C-alpha cells in the first residue's frame, strides 16, 4: 500500500494535555523527535491503532512496554501526527509500508 494518499495531521507536541487533538477512531501514527535542527524531525516510532486516542495515552502510561519509546517520550521533545485509516488490513499495510520506507529507531526489536 502506498501512503501517498494519506492525509496526515499537523504535528503537535506529545503530551497528555494534547490528547484531545487525537480522534477516537482508527488510523496510523508517527512519533517524531525534535533534535533541534530547524525543520527536521527524527523518526522515532510508527504504529497503528483501532482507537488512536487510547493508544496515544497508552504510550504515555507507566505501563508502556517499549523502553526506547518510553525513554524518548519522557526525556525528549517528541511530536505526534496521525492519518485516519479504516480497516485493520489497511492499517497493517500502511504501517508496513512506512517501516520499509524509513528507519524508526524504536520499532527495532529490543534485545
Long-range Cβ contact pairs of 92-96 (< 8 A, separation 24 or more): 92/48, 93/1, 94/1, 94/3, 94/6, 94/28, 94/48, 95/28, 95/46, 95/47, 95/48, 96/1
- Give the pLDDT confidence of 82-103 residue by residue, as tens digits: 999 999 999 999 999 999 988 9
Q: For residue 93, what pLDDT is reported?
A: 95
**Statement: residue 72 has pLDDT above 50:** yes
Q: For residue 111, what pLDDT is reported?
A: 44
The pTM for the full model equals: 0.91
- The answer to whether residues 23 and 90 touch, using CB atoms and an 8 Å cutoff, is no
Residue with the three cell numbers 517520550: 73
Structural domains of the chain sorted by starting position, each given as residue range(s) with its CATH number in brackets: 12-107 (3.40.1440.10)
What's the whole-number mean pLDDT along residues 42-58?
Answer: 97
Q: How many CB atoms lie within 10 A of CB 38?
A: 5
Amino acid at each position: 500500500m502506498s501512503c501517498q494518499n494519506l492525509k496526515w495531521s499537523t504535528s503537535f507536541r506529545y503530551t497528555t494535555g494534547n490528547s484531545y487533538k487525537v480522534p477516537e477512531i482508527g488510523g496510523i501514527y508517527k512519533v517524531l523527535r525534535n533534535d533541534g535542527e530547524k525543520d527536521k524531525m527524527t523518526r522515532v516510532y510508527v504504529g497503528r491503532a483501532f482507537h488512536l486516542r487510547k493508544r496515544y495515552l497508552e504510550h504515555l502510561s507507566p505501563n508502556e512496554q517499549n523502553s526506547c519509546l518510553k525513554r524518548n517520550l519522557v526525556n525528549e521533545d517528541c511530536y505526534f501526527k496521525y492519518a485516519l485509516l479504516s480497516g485493520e488490513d489497511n492499517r497493517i499495510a500502511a504501517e508496513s509500508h512506512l517501516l520499509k520506507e524509513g528507519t524508526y529507531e524504536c520499532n527495532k526489536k529490543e534485545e
